[in-house]
Amino acid sequence: MQVALQRIKCNKNKNSGIVIAVDLLEIKDIPGCITLSSCDFTHSDVQQRIMQFLPHGQADVVMSDMAPLSTGNKKLDHSKIIDLNRAALEFARTVLSNGGCFLCKLWDGNETGEFIEEISESFSLCKQVKPKASRVDSSELYIFSKGFIKNENITKKRTRK
């Protein structure tokens, strides 16, 4: 969150944007950031709370670094992080303004390609990024997407599955 705050230059003297941090665990307030501590993002009431802070109910960027508690079973852990990211993607499809960006962290696995295809349905650019700080043997990667294109049919199609 600190990097997001730096990027939008959101501080007490200059309010050019907002950053909303949501964490399942108890976290300390982050200066310059709206902090929703001990909140489960996957619950609709938490998403409604987030939307109350968004100007006109819209955001330019949705970022997710959510991760489940690791079980040690790579296939199960991968499936769980994909589920969390699908929740973040559906939220992004609801609140992103046209042209917006979506960034999420995941652990590479058998569902990665399909998930990237899902994201690509709503964005003009979607690519995998492996941070330099990430260990070479780590399955952690990020999906960066920009150029959001609002399409109600995609959201309806996905929610019926």
CA distance 74 to 108: 9
Q: CA 56, 58, 63: angle at the middle one, nearest 5?
A: 150
Active site residue 105: yes
Instruction: Phi first, then psi: give them for residue 9, nearest 5 degrees.
Output: 55, 45
DSSP 69: P
Catalytic residue among 80, 105, 127, 161: 105
Strand partners, 103: 63, 144
State phi, psi for 104 to the nearest 5 degrees. Answer: -140, 150
* 3-state DSSP assignment of residue 137: coil
Question: Active-site residue numbers?
Answer: 105
